[in-house]
A and B are shown apart, each in its own frame.
Chain A
Amino acid sequence: QQQVKQSPQSLIVQKGGISIINCAYENTAFDYFPWYQQFPGKGPALLIAIRPDVSEKKEGRFTISFNKSAKQFSLHIMDSQPGDSATYFCAASVGGGSNYKLTFGKGTLLTVNP
């Protein structure tokens, strides 16, 4: 049973455009929702994270939108740049501080064309 479903699998965006990646979860006990960015040959790195007490969090060009009733959250990358080309993973965990026990989506390969 896949607890975090991520879409799309791949995404191609033109430079300056908006990239949108969506995730849906099933476990209502999840209470920590991070997004990770991974470049080829590297380990994932935390990009931005949200807790369910807020509906949106913005850090620079990156925004997480969270819809608790729909059990969905999404990553928006504004003014997408070629340097944003990477694989993005959404994740979730239970228990607030349980960031050591993440459940990941399958990933989205983002390509930003110049």
Chain B
Amino acid sequence: NAGVTQTPKFQVLKTGQSMTLQCAQDMNHEYMSWYRQDPGMGLRLIHYSVGAGITDQGEVPNGYNVSRSTTEDFPLRLLSAAPSQTSVYFCASSSPAGLGADTQYFGPGTRLTVL
């Protein structure tokens, strides 16, 4: 299993540009989430999904869109990039507790810089 994969690893955007951060998992996990990590801020939840076709907002959703058309993929879209979106983005996946798997597995991250 590859686990959780994210592409690209690094990206530089100009203010106003749009882009999609890709996330895929091959563990057949129902749950997927996007977090951003900023220095001294820990990780903050952007959006999450509890299954294909179901998404909801987290703590810091503004400026981001998500969709979940398949179990495996959970892309994060930046509609009009702003310098405040410069961050490291992590995708994570997990199964519901009670199935013996509480662990939320994180991908390697995408480091995004917006100029």
* A residues whose Cβ falls under 8 Å from a Cβ of B: 6, 9, 32, 34, 36, 41-46, 49, 89, 91, 96-97, 99-107
Contact B97 A32 (CB under 8 A): yes
CB distance from B50 to the nearest CB of A (A): 7
A100 touches B42 (CB 8 A): no
A residues near B90, Cβ cutoff 8 Å? 43-44
Tell me whether B53 is interfacial, beta carbon within 8 Å: no
Cβ-defined partner of B42 (8 Å) among A46, A101, A106: A106
B48 to chain A: which residues have CB within 8 Å? 100-101
Q: CA–CA, A49 to B45, complex, Å?
A: 19
Q: Which residue of B lies closest to A6 (CB)?
A: B42
Q: Which residues of B contact A (CB under 8 A)?
A: 4, 31-33, 35, 40-45, 48-50, 58-59, 90, 92, 94, 96-98, 102-109
With A41-B109, A43-B90, A97-B102 given, name 11 new contacts (CB 8 A). A41-B108, A44-B106, A49-B102, A89-B43, A96-B98, A100-B48, A101-B48, A102-B33, A103-B45, A104-B35, A104-B43
